[in-house]
């Protein structure tokens, strides 16, 4: 495999993000990076396994609150907070995964939503003594400066989050190239055929569930560290559709769909809300239009066009002829 | 694998889909190196028989054993892991994966990364390695499905109507492939193509309305005229 070609797409995409930061306000840029990691988990479940989940806020909250509990009650090192958030996501995924992934896709969507509601009420009411309910946990001033990059500084946080997102994308790109990646697509296409080859669909789905939701928990932990604050609002059922919308908007199953979707969704929200009051209505219509125009999402529609252009450019560079055999 | 070793034994098999009983006390046995064919009309229960052996359908009673291991209750993927591979009737491959990726799936599951026998049987696949499987013709898909299934040198291949809808030249190619393959892998084949069955099968079972109505173990009795009586 050509190493340059393998890394080239990733480097180009993230270079464009760095360039975008020049024009975008820092909070906006941080939101895009974290939200795209959040959407990546949903993208993997929906695009690769074919499972839609309306419960991603649950795993976001697990990561966020785990990090927050550490940073509020026990320590001040944001790196450790992030690790604890990721570990919590991993643990919860392993506990609920064996039950959830046995369900058919529609029931899977609902049981995850149910989990999000459960966690919402746990954090809002049942555990209010330690979560402070709707008032949330505030720990921004608790955060100590971290070595290498000071995560308590928004600028350095952005650099860290961007580097982390790069690692996440490289991981998913690597996964795509493995037999496991092929197994994920195969289980989505025809799980019976995969069984007859000797694969356990349950194990494939369980691993995908754990990977996706650990990624989501990472996003939750990043939110916690960035904002220095966590409240039950993070797992509100009202926000259940957010990552699904971003995934579909960007292009489900594509590598860069979550990035593109996150930029488009966050951008639309930010721009439209400044201009009109009922911005959710405008965004709703905008999403319907985009879906009708290209049901593969923005990147899902653009990617094949760009690949074709790139292929023709390569042919022209080598032969002096375009792909249609015209000199 | 010795030629007298029994690879599969199905005894008094009963299968139902809910309230509807589909197989009634069906018996079948396959020896190493043998090609066994199941013939019968549509709805006779041939596919259900293969799917029961493959672990996709759970019988209500009876036994299915392979080398003293009972297959009943085993998950389909575990049966495949034992070296009993099922090639279903539909020619659906993993369309979004390339031919190469489809074969890699077969290799990884069986830990057999030697594709030379597959290419020997189906040289056409070498030229199609980077093509998406969804863009293959029916014959090419069948080659891919069988090629993928024989990775890992399975002890038994269950093939459901492999020549349905295929051109005569492809059917002829598959006939020779099955003959060659049977030297290392026993085959149970559901087939409506009687000339093919009579050319290569060492034993024929005829099913009618879920029951075994004939077992032809004598090669001289395996003729299109005799087999046609059971269709």
Q: Which of B80, B95, B96 sits opposite A196 (nearest CB)?
A: B80
Burial of A309 (0-12, 13-18, 19+ CB in 10 A): exposed
pLDDT(B36) > 80: yes
Q: Give the Cα separation of A148 and B140 in Å (integer).
A: 56
How many angstroms separate the CA atoms of B206 and A128, rounded?
Answer: 71
* A182–B105 CB contact, under 8 Å: yes
Q: Spell out the residues 6+ positions from residue B126 whose beta carbon is closer than 8 angstroms to its own.
A: B119
For the residues A173-193, what does the mean pLDDT come to?
92
Q: Do A185 and B96 touch (CB under 8 A)?
A: yes
Of A126-130, A224-228, B40-44, least confident by mean pLDDT is B40-44
Q: Are strands B61-66 and B156-160 parallel, antiparallel or unpaired?
A: unpaired
In tens, the pLDDT along B157-213 reads: 999 999 988 889 999 999 999 999 999 999 999 998 888 999 999 999 999 999 999
pLDDT digits (tens, 9 = 90+) for B78-127: 999 999 999 998 888 898 899 999 999 999 999 999 999 999 999 999 99
Q: Which residues of chain A neighbour B55 with C-beta distances below 8 Å?
A: 195
- Chain B CB contacts of A179 under 8 Å are 104-105, 108
Q: How many domains does chain A have?
A: 1
Q: Round to whole Å and give the CA distance between B208 and B170.
A: 29
Closest chain A C-alpha to B4 CA, distance in angstroms: 27
Mean pLDDT over the full length of chain A = 90
Confidence band of A326 (pLDDT split at 50, 70, 90): low
A197/B80 CB distance under 8 A = yes
- Full domain range(s) for residue A81: 11-236
Confidence of residue B1 (pLDDT cuts 50, 70, 90): very low
Contact assessment for residue A299 and residue A251, using Cβ atoms and an 8 Å cutoff: yes
The answer to whether the predicted template modeling score (pTM) of the entire model surpasses 0.90 is no
Residue A268 lies in a domain: no
The first and second tokens of residue A101, run together, are: 């992934």
State how far residue B213 is from chain A, nearest Cα, in angstroms: 29
Chain segment A131-165, per-residue pLDDT in tens = 999 999 999 888 888 889 999 899 999 999 999 99
ipTM of the complex: 0.81
Cβ of residue B86 closer than 8 Å to a chain A Cβ: yes
Domains of chain B (ranges, CATH numbers): 6-90+156-228 (3.40.50.300)
A220 by DSSP, 3-state: which? helix
A319 touches chain B (CB under 8 A): no
Give A50's contacts in chain B (Cβ within 8 Å). none
Does the residue A26 lie in any domain?
yes
> Among B184, B211, B212, B189, which residue's Cα sits nearest to residue B202?
B189
Task: Tell which A residues from 29 to 48 touch B, by Cβ distance under 8 Å.
Answer: none
Does the beta carbon of B83 lie under 8 angstroms from any beta carbon of chain A?
no
Asked if residue A174 belongs to a domain, the reply is: yes
pLDDT of residue A297: 86
């Amino acid at each position: 495999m050509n190493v340059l070609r393998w890394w080239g797409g990733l480097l180009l995409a993230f270079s464009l993000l760095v360039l975008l930061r020049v024009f975008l306000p820092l909070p906006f840029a941080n939101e895009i990076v974290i939200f795209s990691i959040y959407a990546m988990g949903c993208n993997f479940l929906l695009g690769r396994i074919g499972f839609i989940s309306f419960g991603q806020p649950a795993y976001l909250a697990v990561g966020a609150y785990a990090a927050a509990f550490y940073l509020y009650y026990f320590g001040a090192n944001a790196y450790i907070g992030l690790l604890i958030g990721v570990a919590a996501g991993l643990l919860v995924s392993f506990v609920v995964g064996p039950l959830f992934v046995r369900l058919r896709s529609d029931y899977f969507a609902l049981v995850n939503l149910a989990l999000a509601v459960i966690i919402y009420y746990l954090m809002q009411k049942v555990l209010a003594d330690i979560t402070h309910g709707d008032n949330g946990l505030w720990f921004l001033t608790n955060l100590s400066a971290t070595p290498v990059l000071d995560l308590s500084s928004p600028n350095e946080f952005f650099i860290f989050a961007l580097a982390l997102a790069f690692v996440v994308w490289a991981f998913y790109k690597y996964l795509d190239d493995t037999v496991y990646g092929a197994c994920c697509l195969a289980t989505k296409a025809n799980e019976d055929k995969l069984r007859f080859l000797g694969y356990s669909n349950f194990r494939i789905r369980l691993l995908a569930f754990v990977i996706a939701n650990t990624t989501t928990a990472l996003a939750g932990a990043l939110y916690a560290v960035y904002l220095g604050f966590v409240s039950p609002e993070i797992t509100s059922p009202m926000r259940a559709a957010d990552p699904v919308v971003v995934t579909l908007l960007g292009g489900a199953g594509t590598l860069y769909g979550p990035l593109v979707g996150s930029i488009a969704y966050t951008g639309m929200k930010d721009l439209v809300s400044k201009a009109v009051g009922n911005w959710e209505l405008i965004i709703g219509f905008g999403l319907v239009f985009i879906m009708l125009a290209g049901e593969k999402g923005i990147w899902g529609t653009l990617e094949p066009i760009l690949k074709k252009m790139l292929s023709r450019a390569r042919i022209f560079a080598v032969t002096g002829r375009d792909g249609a055999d015209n000199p | 694998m010795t030629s007298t070793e029994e690879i599969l034994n199905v005894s008094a098999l009963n299968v139902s889909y809910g309230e509807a009983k589909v197989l009634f006390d069906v018996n079948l046995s396959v020896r190493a190196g043998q090609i066994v064919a199941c013939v019968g009309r549509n709805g006779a229960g041939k596919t259900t028989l293969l799917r029961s052996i493959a672990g996709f359908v759970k019988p209500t009673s009876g036994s299915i054993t392979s080398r003293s291991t009972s297959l009943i209750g085993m998950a389909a993927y575990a049966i495949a892991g034992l070296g009993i591979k099922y090639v279903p009737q539909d020619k659906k491959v993993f369309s979004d994966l390339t031919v190469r990726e489809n074969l890699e799936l077969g290799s990884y599951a069986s830990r057999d990364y030697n594709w030379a026998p597959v290419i020997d049987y189906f040289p056409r696949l070498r030229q199609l390695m980077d093509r998406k499987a969804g863009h293959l013709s029916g014959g090419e898909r069948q080659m891919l499905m069988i090629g993928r299934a024989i990775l890992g040198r399975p002890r038994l291949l269950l093939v459901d109507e492999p020549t349905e809808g295929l051109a005569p030249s492809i059917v002829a190619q598959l006939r020779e492939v099955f003959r060659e393959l049977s030297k290392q892998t026993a085959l149970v084949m559901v087939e409506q193509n009687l000339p093919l069955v009579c050319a290569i099968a060492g034993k024929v079972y005829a099913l009618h309305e879920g029951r075994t109505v004939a077992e032809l173990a004598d090669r001289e009795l395996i003729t299109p005229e005799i087999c046609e009586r059971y269709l």
